Every structure is written in C-alpha cells, then in structure tokens.
Structure 1
C-alpha cells in the first residue's frame, strides 16, 4: 500500500487533474491519497489571526479544510472513494479502488500533540502511513525537490512541517518527496514496484 499526499499548492494547478487521473488508472487497490489543506487551510489562518481563537479550534477547522480538498478531488474523479477510517480505506483497496482519506475522526475536544500548526497535513500523512503499515509515503510538492537534500533541510525551509521528520524518523516505509511535474516517475514506481524498491534502497532513501 502506498500513501500519496498531494499538497494544497496543487489545488489551482492543472497537474492536479493529471495526478488524480494517473493514480486512478494505475493505483487501484494500492493507493491512499491524503489531501493537503490548500487555501481552505489558509482561510483558517486568516480567521485565527482576526479572531484569536485557539489552536485546537484551528486544528479541527483544518481537518475540515482537508476534507473539502478531498471532496474537490472526488468531484474531479468520481471513481475515487472517500474514506474516513482504516476499515473504509482497506475496503476501498480490496475493491480495487483508490481511497481519498477524510481525516475528520482526528477532530479533538481537548488539545493533543497534533492540534497545533507544527503538525500539518504532511505529518498527518506520515501518521496515517504508520497506522496503515504502508510501504511508501510519497509527498507531492509544487516547489523544486532535490532528491539528495535531507528531510531536515526540507523541514527547516518550510517545504514540510516541523514535526514531519519526527513522524518518519523510525518509519518502516520509504519516504519520498516529489515535484508535481514528476508524474511519470510516480507511474513508473507504481508499475514497477520491485525495481523501485531496489533503486531506493541502493540510493539510501529514507
């Protein structure tokens, strides 16, 4: 099973439809998509700055922002299956479908380690990958990605959130950051998983 996190920065980018189309065509039964927050989450930041409500409320609102992005994705590709629980994700995969994670079960009544701005959809994708015992987490970004750059540098530069490295440090799955234009690379990895695994291990990928 692969978890593919599609950043919110693609929410106004034509490549979003291309990613969803490719994943729907070659990822059936194997892929779970995690939506970012996009400008839905940006609105939460704006409202919090205006009204000064706490991070717990902002966390719950951002989960709804991710849910809106998930709905947008399914609106573009109706064959994608919205799934809010592990059972629903696994059922979709057993049916040969691609699941899109709806993270609303992570809404909280009291603060915890997740309910702050240091933990965004990147870290939630890592959390889900661990829970599902995934083989690979692929994080799709709109900015240039140097495959030789360490994850710590990406976190320091704001490409991924500050907690992401902690979430994947002891991961049993491969972690890959990939640029939005590298759709063919994703397709090749999905169609040739054994070759991809060997190449990643040889290259020292996390």
Structure 2
C-alpha cells in the first residue's frame, strides 16, 4: 500500500487532474491519497487572525479543509472513493479502488501534539502511513523539489512542515518527495515496484 499526499497548492493547477487520473489508472488497490489543505486551510489562517481563536479550533477547521479538498478530488474524478477510517480505506483497496482519506476522525476536543500549525497534512500523511503500515509515502508539491536534499533542509525551507521529519525518522516505509511535474516518475514507481 502506498500513501500519496497531494499538496493543496495543486488545487487550482491543471496538473491535479493528471495526478488523480494516473493514480487511478495504475494505483487501484494500492493507493491512498491524502489531500492537503490548500486555500481552504489558508482561509482558516485568515479567520484565526481575525477572530483570535485557539489552535485547537484551527486544527479542527483545517481537517475540514482537507475534507473539502478530498471532496473536490472526487468531484474531479468520481471513481475515487472517499474514506474516513482505516476500515473504509482498506475496504476500498480490497475492492481494487483508490481511496481518498477524509481525516475528520482526527478532530479533537482537547489540544494535543497535533493541534498546531507545525503539524500540517504532510505530517498527517506520515502518521497515516505508519497506521496503515504503508510501503511508501509519496509527497507531491507544486514547487520544484530537490529529491537529493535532506528532509531537514526541505523542512527548514518550508517545503514540508516542521514536524514531518520527526514523524518519518524511524519509519519502516520509503519516503519520496515529488514536484507536480514528476507524474511520469510516480507512474514508473507504481508500475515497476512489485506489490508486497
């Protein structure tokens, strides 16, 4: 099983349709897509500045932002299956489908280590990868990504979130970062890596 996190920054980019289509064509039964927050989450930041509510409320709103992006993805490609739990994700994969995670189950009533702006959909994708015992986590960004750069460097420059490195430090899955233009590389990975 592979987790593919698609950045919210692709939500207005024509490349989004191509990514979703390619993942659906070659990733059925193997791929879980994690949506970013995109401008849905940017709106949460603006509301927090305006109304000065706490990070717990912002966290819950950002999970709903991710859910909106997930629904947008399914709107673009109706064959994708929305899945809000591990059971539903695994069921979609058993049926040979591609699942899109709707992370509303992570909403909190009290603050914890995830209810802050240092933990974004990047880290949540890493946490899901651990939960699902994934073989690979692919993180897709709209900006150019130096695949040879250390994750710490990418975190320091804001390409990935500040907590991502700690979540994948001892991971038993492969972590790869992709630019939006790396669709062919992703397709090659899915077609050439044997299913375990």
Query: Normalising to structure 2: TM-score of the pair?
Result: 0.99
Q: How does 1:143-162 map to 2 (within 5 A)?
A: 143-162=143-162
Tell me, what secondary structure is at the counterpart of 1:92? helix
- Give 1:42 deviation, angstroms: 0.0
Structure 1 window deviating more from structure 2 (138-147 vs 39-48): it is: 138-147
Which residue in the other structure is 1:204 paired with? none
- In structure 2, what is the Cα distance between the partners aligned to 1:177 and 1:184? 14
Aligned-partner SS, 1:73: helix
| Local SS of the residue matching 2:78 | coil
TM-score by length of 1: 0.94
Match of 2:137 in 1: 137
Q: Post-superposition shift, 1:99?
A: 0.1
Pair 1:123 & 2:142 matched: no
CA RMSD of aligned residues (A): 1.2
Which residues in structure 2 correspond to 1:1-206 (within 5 Å)? 1-194=1-194
Residue by residue over 1:114-136, the C-alpha shift from the partner in whole angstroms, topping out at 9 and shown as x without a partner, is 00000000000000000000000
| Counterparts of 1:57 and 1:45, CA distance in 2 | 11
Deviation at 1:44, TM superposition (A): 0.1
Cα-to-partner distance string for 1:18-53 (whole Å, 9 max, x where unaligned): 000001110000000000000000000000000000
- Structure 2 stretches of 5 or more lacking a match? none
Q: Structure 1: 5+ residue runs without aligned partners?
A: 198-206
Please give the per-residue CA displacement for 1:39-85, whole angstroms capped at 9, x wherever unaligned.
Answer: 00000000000000000000000000000000000001111000000
Q: Secondary structure of 1:79's partner?
A: coil
Deviation digits for residues 126-149 of structure 1 (CA, Å, limit 9, x no counterpart): 000000000000000011111110
- 1:181 and 1:32 map into 2 onto residues whose CA distance is 20
Point out 4+ residue stretches in structure 1 off by more than 4 angstroms: none
CA distance, structure 1, for counterparts of residue 12 and residue 78 of structure 2:
18
Q: Matched residues in 2 for 1:155 and 1:148: separation?
A: 14
Structure-1 separation of matches of 2:89 and 2:38 = 23
